[in-house]
A and B are shown apart, each in its own frame.
Chain A
Amino acid sequence: MKIHQLSVFIENRPGHLSPPIKALAAAGINIATLSLADTKQFGILRIVTRQWEKAKQVLENAGLVVSVTEVLAIEAPDRPGGLADVLTVVEAAGVGVDYLYAFAEQPGGKAVLVFRFDDSDRAIDALTAAGVNVLRSVEVYGDGD
C-alpha cells in the first residue's frame, strides 16, 4: 500500500531544477506526479514514479542527494468535499499530515492525492475502516506505464 516517493535536495537558484528533471527524461523515466517544496535557500523535489529504483540511481549518478520516503496514494471523489471527508477521517484518528499533493486529473471522477502522514500505518487503518480507497502501487502507476 505504501508508495516509494523520491525526495531530491536542490538549491533554490535559477537552473537547479532542470538537472534532475532532464536526467530522468534522458533515462526514459516517466514521472507519475511530483511536487516542489521551497524555502528561501533550498527546495525539496518530491517525485512519484513506477521506476523509482532506477530513478534513484539516475539521480544519484547525476550527483544529487536522494532519499526514499514511504507515502500513501489515496483516492477521493473528485467533487467539492472530497478532500475534506478524507481529512475528517485522519484527524479523528489523531494522525498528522506532513504534506500532500495531487496527481493530475484522473478518469472516472476520482482524484488521487499523495499524502505523507506522521504515522502511515495508523492512517491506513483509519482510512480503510472509513471506506476510503488507499491505492496499491499498481493502481497508482496504471497499465500504460
Chain B
Amino acid sequence: MKRPSDNGGPDFMPRQQLDALQSRRLCAVVRRAYENVALYRQRMDNAGVNAERFRGAEQIASLPFTVKADLRDSYPFGLFARPMRDVVRLHASSGTTGKPIVVAYTKRDVEVWAEVVARALASFGLHAGDVIQNSYGYGLFTGGLGLHYGAEALGATVIPASGGNTDRQIMVMRDFGVSAICCTPSYFLHLMERANELGVDWKSLRLRAGIFGAEPWTEAMRQWIQQTSGIRAYDIYGLSEIIGPGVGAECREQEGLHIFEDHFYPEIIDPVTGRPLPDGEEGELVLTTLSKEAMPMIRYRTRDVTTIYAEPCPCGRTIRKIRRILRRSDDMFIIRGVNVFPSQIETALLAVDRTLPHYQIVLTREKGLDQIEIRIEVTAEMFSDRVSAMENLQSRIAAQIERTLGIRAAVSLVEPHTIQRSEGKAKRVIDQREM
C-alpha cells in the first residue's frame, strides 16, 4: 500500500470513478453476503432481492437493514462469511451484559483497516515523521489495535501506551517527544488536569495534535482543548460492527468527517420510516461495508444521528462528509468509553432484588473523568429500619452495576416521587456533562 498523504490517493478520486467503484463493490458484497451468510440470504429472499442481478448503488434501498440485535442474536460467529481458518483477528465490543458483539477480520480486512486509519491520520496532517502515542485501550476493544496498525501503516513511530497510568502517560508524552496522541476526549481532559498539577509546560512539548473519538464531544470542547493546550484536536469516527475506528475522519478544515467511501457506503435514513433521505437532511446513519471479507455488513443501522454534507469540502476530498455525531436515535450513552444502555442498568437492578424500582441515571464529569450516579427511589418493601441493611442494599446494587458494566457507579437512595415520571418514554438519563 502506498503511504497515504494529505493531498493525493483514493480520498481525492474523481466522483464518477468513485461512484462506479462503489457500485461494483456493492454488487460483490451483496453476492458474498447472500452466498455465505444465512441471515442475509433469508432476509434478501424475504425482501425479493435477487443477489445475482443486483445492479448497484441505485438499488441499495431494496436491501434489508441489519441491526445490533442481529449481531447479538448470532453470537458468536453467526454472521461470518468466511471459515474460521481465514479469520486472523477477532474483536469484541465492550460493556455489555451477557453476550458482546463479536467482529472478525481476514488478513485483507486487517490491511484495509490499517489503510483507512492511516488515511485518517494523514488527513489530520500526520506523516511518517510523527511520534504517535496510542492511549486507546488495547485488547478486545477495536480502538487500540485499530489506531496502532493505522499509525504503523503511516510509517510513524508508534507508542502502544494503551489506557490508564496517567502519570506514566505524561512522562512518555514529554520524554519520548510525542507529536500526536490518540485517546478519548474525556481522557485527554483528565490528562490535561494531571499535567497541570505536575506543572507541565504545554508549549515545551512537541505535541501538536490529538486524535479523539469513541465518544461524542462538542465543538465547544474542541475549542477549549485547542486554546488551552495549543494542539489541534481532531475527530475520528468508527464502530466495531463496521470495522473499528477509521470509518470516517476530519480533515484540517475540522468541519465534518469524511467517510472513506471506497470502503464504506453511507446513507441517511428516516429512523421511523426507514426511507432514505437526500444529502443535507438529518437522519440515522446507515453503513454498508464494501470490501470486508470475514464479516460484511449490509445496511447496518448505526443509531447515530447526523447529516451528509451536500456541499464539497475545501480540502478537495471527493469522499463525502458527515456532520459530527452528537446524539443517537436510541437511549444509549457512553461513559468512560463504555457503551451503556439504560436497559442494562435495569437488568442489574432486577438481579439485586427481583424488583425494578424507579431509577434515574445522572452523568457528571469531575476533573475530566465521567461519573455515574444511579438514583433509586426507596419503596416500603425495600426499606429497613436498620441503617446497615440500607447501606448493604446500596453496596449490593453498586456491586451488581460494576459487575454488569465494568464501571463503578455511586448509588443514592432517594425518597419516593422524587424521580420525575413522564408519559411515554421515561427520561432515564440526565447527562450533565458539558461536552
Contact = CB atoms under 8 A, between A and B. Distances in A.
A7 B389 CA distance: 13
A39 B391 CA distance: 8
Contact of A67 (B385, B394, B412, B416): B385
A116 B386 CA distance: 10
Contacts, number: 50
Contacts of B382: 65
A142 B384 CA distance: 29
A65 B417 CA distance: 10
B376 to A, nearest CB: 11
Nearest to B415: A11
A67 B386 CA distance: 11
Contact of A10 (B385, B394, B415, B417): B415
Contact of A63 (B379, B391, B416): B416
Contacts of A116: 385
Given A65-B378, A65-B379, A9 B386 contact: no
Contacts of A98: 386
B69 interface: no
A67 B387 contact: no
A66 B414 CA distance: 13
Contact of A64 (B387, B413, B416): B416
A99 to B, nearest CB: 8
Interface residues of B, number: 19
A77 to B, nearest CB: 28
Which one of A16, A39, A69 has the highest number of Cβ atoms from chain B below 10 Å of its Cβ? Answer: A39
Interface string A8-47: 0111000010000000000000000000010101101010
Contact of B414 (A5, A11, A39): A11
B387 A9 contact: no
Which one of A7, A37, A65, A98 has the highest number of Cβ atoms from chain B below 10 Å of its Cβ? Answer: A65
B390 interface: yes
Interface residues of A, number: 20
Interface in B393-424: 394, 412-418
A9 B415 CA distance: 7
Contacts of A66: 380, 383
Contacts of A41: 394, 412-413
B415 A44 contact: no
B383 A65 contact: yes
A67 B415 contact: no
Contacts of B417: 63
B335 to A, nearest CB: 21
Nearest to A37: B387
Contact of B380 (A10, A42, A65): A65
B383 A67 contact: yes
A66 B384 CA distance: 9
Contact of B387 (A5, A44, A63): A44
A46 B413 contact: no
A119 to B, nearest CB: 14
5 contacts: A7-B383, A37-B387, A39-B391, A44-B385, A116-B385
Interface of A: 5, 7, 9-11, 16, 37, 39, 41-42, 44, 46, 63-67, 69, 98, 116
Given A37-B387, A41-B394, A63-B416, 12 more contacts: A7-B385, A9-B413, A11-B415, A42-B390, A44-B385, A64-B416, A65-B379, A66-B380, A66-B383, A67-B380, A67-B384, A116-B385
3 A-B pairs with the lowest CB-CB distances in the bound complex, closest first = A7-B385, A69-B385, A65-B383
